[in-house]
Amino acid sequence: MGSGRSWWSGSFVELRGVPSDAVETIEPQRKGMAVTWSFGTPVIDFSTLMGALSQYAMRAGEKLRQHGLNAARLTVFFHTNRHKPDRPQYGATRTITLHPMTSDSLELIHAARRGAEHAWRDVYGITKAGIMLDDLVAAELRPRTLFEGDTERRERVMGPWTRSMVRSASSPLCRRHRDSDASGRHAAK
């Protein structure tokens, strides 16, 4: 009974002459996944939103590789607080087709940036954002393209890295470092 099946399904199969231990339950393949989060305070600048979306895309890539999957479409979304109708409301969703299909976090971050740049409006305080991946296919079954780069090498490099080891260039920590001069002070813009 610990396998998730009800007690009678094993008995029913055994009555038909098949031993119950020969019946194997197969987990269905995932069709999509999402990484989303609500912000404690509204986000009003694009760089902060992009830093969060980069982390979500990085995590989504990790989840894809963990399950041995590749995604064909990435959807980036963000919106204001719908429960405060007295404030300006805005919601945006952009879907990017990933060609070739991928589980590469850097490709996912690039696609998320493209979608977010097309949807961003400066005047709104964003309270929730996320990344959704659709049309998931097992990595070994994904269609190959003629001009596809050396994905096997890149997958070997991406495999052992985790969020704590890799920071994308769009994360707030890297932006602060990039914008500072040699003495560690932030450069004037």
63 in a domain, yes or no? yes
77 in a domain, yes or no? yes
Quote the pTM value.
0.67
Q: What are phi and psi of 45, to 5 degrees?
A: -125, 150
Give the range among 20-29, 81-90, 127-136 with minimum mean pLDDT.
Answer: 20-29
5 in a domain, yes or no? no
pLDDT tens across 102-158, in order?
Answer: 999 999 999 999 999 999 988 789 999 999 999 999 988 777 766 666 556 655 665
For residue 64, what is the domain's CATH number? 3.30.1490.100
Looking at residue 182, what is its pLDDT?
A: 44
| Number of independent structural domains in the chain | 1
Residue range of the domain that includes 129: 30-139
53 in a domain, yes or no? yes
Give the range among 50-54, 112-116, 163-167 with minimum mean pLDDT.
Answer: 163-167
105 in a domain, yes or no? yes
71 in a domain, yes or no? yes
Q: Which two tokens stand for residue 73?
A: 């479409």
Specify whether the CB–CB gap between 116 and 107 falls below 8 A: no
Q: What are phi and psi of 22, to 5 degrees?
A: -85, -15
34 in a domain, yes or no? yes
* Residue 43 banded pLDDT, cuts 50, 70, 90: very high
Closest CA relative to residue 128, chosen from 69, 173, 83: 83
C-alpha 58/C-alpha 152 separation (Å) is 18
Q: Which residues contact 23 (CB under 8 A, 6 or more apart)?
A: 9, 10, 13
121 in a domain, yes or no? yes
Specify whether the CB–CB gap between 92 and 77 falls below 8 A: yes
